């Protein structure tokens, strides 16, 4: 950047924080990133990324490495709890249509890839944010180890129970500026247990030799459970079990906040070991999974209205927590990082007014897209994991009667939003379906003109 850029403090080294750091490396924006965990221990779950974000991986030179740890997804097979086939949904022409496959991989492999691009001295582990203070001169964060750091801008990328958000909202509440809906808790409707096995060997099952991921989804009858398996590179299988919480359980706060004792999770693990999968009982996969690669999490759901105030901005799950049903939470967290980096690259001055204007621009560019995905994730959750009678009927109709062209149209519309970094060269559209236009960077355009004039 030609003018002196802002100094940014990023709290949270999840997917949003790490992706933002990599973008800042390319934009020459100075930053430090603070993570509360002492060692990086991502959830051992499966993840998928699609054309909504893959162009940015390509821009950053990360796509080949991502493809090396992934398998493309071309089908989803649905079964009932006794492994009787319900539906087999295929999506052969996705790459032709949007230019990229759906890529499926184990989340820890993506963390390793992103971490390899971030200079060690900019990442601080074991740094839990306790509070923040901001004024016309700058922003200061205080951490649990009594250290404190100063910057021009604070980015809260610290997930669904964001400390930055809590601290910011407390400040806004005092000033009477917090919308009522933002004062309310996240709603918890599902709980999930996930894991990734160790290598099972290539002779474990014929699926291991396939060049695409094999996804099987099982829907239990008369129980709140649905479960899934995905093959990933390295002859491994990611598995997950979702449980729909009833309205009473999801409103019960003590239930939500209670820590799972080894007793409770041992009980749950024993219960799910008998579930059937294409590979025999789930217990077989659980036994092949290291204990620290198994996690149990709640799936919350909430769209916050306040994303920024003064020098502080929220991105990713801290601003909008979606159910993972549509596989869009991380995609949106990374899109936030892209658009925020674009807005900060174009920052005109490091004053609290200019910063607030850049944050508003960020929110204006992102809000409606996030809201659409948030609503879609709710909808998919009901179709995929819902166990009420109505949800079962809708699921049956969607998988069996929705014509192929409707699905294709729906997909091309969903995939038309593909924001790229505007301060480095764009990659062209590799597909046949349309891409939404994007606001260019005035600073990059200016530099290109100067460059052309110099030649
Ligand atoms: C089972 C499951 C499967 C999913 N599958 C997909 C998928 O296939 N595709 C997809 O797009 N999305 C998926 N998601 C959603 C996706 O994981 C999230 O949306 C994404 O991780 C959000 O990233 P984030 O960086 O905003 O938050 P997080 O990943 O939660 O990262 C926040 C980070 O901040 C740290 N932190 C928290 N508080 C503090 C503090 N006070 N001080 C310092 N650090 C702090 C945390 O330790 C953490 O490292 C899935 C989610 C789940 C639960
Ligand atoms: C940020 O906060 C400081 C201190 O309260 C205030 O002087 C300044 O005007 C604020 N800036 C904006 C853009 O709200
Ligand atoms: C932080 O400071 C307080 C008060 O100065 C002190 O009581 C506490 O032990 C310190 N904590 C750490 C982790 O150093
Ligand atoms: C989650 O639970 C709340 C309250 O129990 C309910 O209003 C909402 O519709 C549920 N959402 C989903 C996706 O099931
Ligand atoms: C089981 O509980 C222990 C202790 O609370 C916890 O450390 C571990 O991660 C849990 N395991 C699972 C599979 O939830």
Residue with the smallest CA separation from ligand 4 atom 10 is: 189
User: What's the whole-number mean pLDDT along residues 220-235?
Assistant: 88
Q: Of 172-181, 290-299, 370-379, where does mean pLDDT reach its minimum?
A: 290-299
Ligand 4 center to residue 299 CA distance, Å? 11
Is pLDDT of 372 > 60? yes
Pairing mode, strands 276-277 and 280-281: antiparallel
Is pLDDT of 330 > 50? yes
Average the pLDDT over 188-200 and give the result: 88
Question: H helices then E strands: how many in the chain?
Answer: 15, 22
CB distance 130 to ligand 3 below 6 Å? no
Tens-digit pLDDT profile for residues 66-116: 999 999 998 888 888 899 988 787 776 788 989 999 999 999 999 999 999
Residue nearest ligand 3's atom 3 by CA:
146
CA distances from 347 to 254, 310, 340, 350, 354 (A): 44, 14, 11, 7, 7
Place of tokens 């093959």: 231
Strand partners, 195: 239, 294
Q: Residue 446 belongs to a domain with what CATH number?
A: 3.50.50.60
CA of 14 to the centre of ligand 3 (A): 27
Distance from the alpha carbon of residue 159 to the mean position of ligand 1, in angstroms: 5
- Tokens 């909430």 — which residue? 302
Query: Coil, strand or helix: which one is 420?
Result: coil
The answer to whether position 61 is within a domain reads no
Name every protein residue with a CB atom under 6 angstroms from any ligand 5 atom: 259-262, 265, 294, 296
> What is the mean predicted confidence (pLDDT) over 214-230?
86
Centre of ligand 3 to C-alpha 146, Å, is 6
Higher pLDDT, 6 or 187: 6
204 in a structural domain: no
- Ligand positioned closest to the Cα atom of 145: 3
Angle at 259 between CA 298 and CA 262, to 5 degrees: 105
Tell me, yes or no, whether 53 lies in a domain.
Answer: no
**Average pLDDT in the 187-193 region?**
80
In a domain, 283, yes or no: no
- Angle, to 10 degrees, between the axis of helix 389-401 and the axis of helix 352-385? 90
**Model confidence band, residue 289 (pLDDT cutoffs 50, 70, 90):** very high
Q: Which residues line ligand 2 (CB under 6 A)?
A: 135-136, 310, 352-353, 356
Kindly identify the ligand whose nearest atom is closest to the C-alpha of 259. 5
Select the more confidently predicted residue: 254 or 405.
Answer: 405
Name beta bridge partners: 194: 240, 295
Cα-to-chain-centroid distance, residue 80: 28
The H or E element that residue 299 is part of is strand 294-303
Looking at the CA of residue 250, tell me the nearest atom of ligand 4: 5
Whether residue 191 is contained in a domain is answered as no
Q: Please report the pLDDT score of residue 401 as a whole number.
A: 57
Residue closest to 62 by CA, chosen among 98, 107, 104, 112: 112
Strand partners, 11: 34, 156
Question: Cα of 223 to ligand 4 centre, how many Å?
Answer: 18
**Whole-number average pLDDT of the chain:** 89
- Name the band, by pLDDT with cuts 50, 70 and 90, for residue 259: very low
Q: Distance between CA 34 and CA 14 in Å, rounded?
A: 10
pLDDT tens digits, 143-157: 999 999 999 999 999
Contact 124, 31 (CB under 8 A): no
- Give residue 157 CA to ligand 1 midpoint distance, Å: 9
- What pLDDT score does 263 carry? 44
Nearest residue to 94 (alpha-carbon basis) of 68, 75, 107: 75
Q: How far is CA 281 from its chain centroid?
A: 29
Q: Which domain holds residue 446?
A: 8-42+108-185+302-454
pLDDT of residue 74: 86
Q: Is the pLDDT of residue 224 over 80?
A: no
Burial of 417 (0-12, 13-18, 19+ CB in 10 A): middle
Let me know: does 5 contact 355? Beta carbons within 8 Å. no
Q: Which ligand is nearest to the CA of 128?
A: 1
Q: Which atom of ligand 5 is found nearest the CA of 292?
A: 9
CA 175 / ligand 2 centre spacing (Å) = 12
The residue ranking higher by pLDDT, 349 or 253, is 349
Residue 391: inside a domain? yes
DSSP secondary structure letters along 321-337: E--GGGS-HHHHHHHHH
Is 356 a domain residue?
yes
User: Closest by alpha carbon to 405, among 86, 93, 96, 74?
Assistant: 93
Query: Looking at the 3D structure of the chain, how many domains does it have?
Result: 1
Mean pLDDT within 431-453 = 93
How many whole angstroms from 194 Cα to the centroid of ligand 2? 44
Residue nearest atom 2 in ligand 4 by C-alpha distance: 189
- Please name which of 332, 416, 327 lies closest in space to residue 371, comparing C-alpha atoms: 332
Contact of 422 with 345, CB cutoff 8 Å: yes
């Amino acid at each position: 950047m030609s003018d002196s850029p802002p100094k940014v403090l990023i709290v949270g080294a999840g997917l949003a924080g790490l992706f933002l750091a990599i973008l800042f490396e390319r934009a020459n924006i100075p930053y430090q990133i603070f993570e509360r965990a002492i060692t990086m221990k991502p959830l051992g779950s499966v993840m998928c990324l699609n054309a909504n974000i893959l162009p940015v991986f390509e821009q950053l030179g990360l796509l080949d490495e991502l493809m090396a740890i992934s398998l493309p997804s071309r089908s989803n097979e649905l079964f009932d709890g006794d492994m009787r086939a319900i539906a087999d949904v295929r999506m052969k022409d996705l790459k032709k249509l949007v230019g990229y496959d759906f890529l499926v991989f184990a989340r820890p492999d993506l963390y390793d890839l992103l971490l390899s691009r971030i200079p060690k001295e900019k990442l601080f582990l074991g740094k839990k944010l306790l509070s923040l203070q901001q004024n016309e001169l700058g922003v200061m964060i205080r951490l649990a180890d009594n250290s404190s750091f100063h910057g021009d801008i604070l980015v809260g990328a610290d997930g669904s129970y964001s400390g930055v958000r809590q601290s910011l909202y407390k400040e806004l509440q005092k000033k009477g500026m917090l919308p009522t809906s933002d004062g309310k808790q996240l709603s918890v409707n599902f709980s999930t247990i996930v894991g990734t096995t160790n290598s099972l060997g290539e002779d474990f099952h014929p699926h291991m030799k396939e060049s695409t991921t094999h996804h099987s989804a099982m829907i239990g009858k008369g129980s709140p459970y649905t479960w899934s398996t995905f093959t990933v590179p390295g002859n491994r299988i990611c598995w997950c079990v979702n449980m729909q919480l009833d309205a009473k359980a999801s409103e019960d706060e003590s239930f939500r906040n209670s820590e799972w004792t080894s007793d409770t999770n041992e009980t749950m693990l024993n219960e799910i070991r008998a579930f059937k999968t294409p590979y025999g009982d789930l217990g077989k996969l659980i036994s092949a999974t290291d204990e620290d690669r198994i996690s149990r999490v709640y799936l919350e759901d909430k769209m916050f209205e306040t994303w920024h105030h003064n020098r502080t901005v929220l991105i990713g799950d801290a601003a909008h927590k979606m159910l993972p049903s549509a596989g869009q939470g991380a995609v949106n967290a990374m899109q936030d990082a892209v658009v925020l980096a674009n807005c900060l690259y174009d920052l005109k001055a490091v004053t609290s007014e200019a910063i607030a204007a850049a944050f508003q621009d960020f929110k204006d560019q992102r809000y409606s897209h996030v809201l659409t995905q948030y609503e879609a994730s709710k909808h998919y959750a009901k179709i995929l994991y819902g166990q009420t009678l109505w949800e079962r009927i809708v699921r049956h109709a969607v998988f069996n009667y929705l014509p192929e062209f409707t699905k294709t149209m729906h997909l091309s519309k969903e995939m038309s939003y593909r924001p790229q970094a505007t301060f480095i060269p764009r990659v062209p559209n590799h597909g046949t379906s349309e891409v939404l236009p994007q606001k260019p960077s005035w600073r990059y355009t200016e530099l290109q003109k100067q460059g052309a004039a110099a030649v």
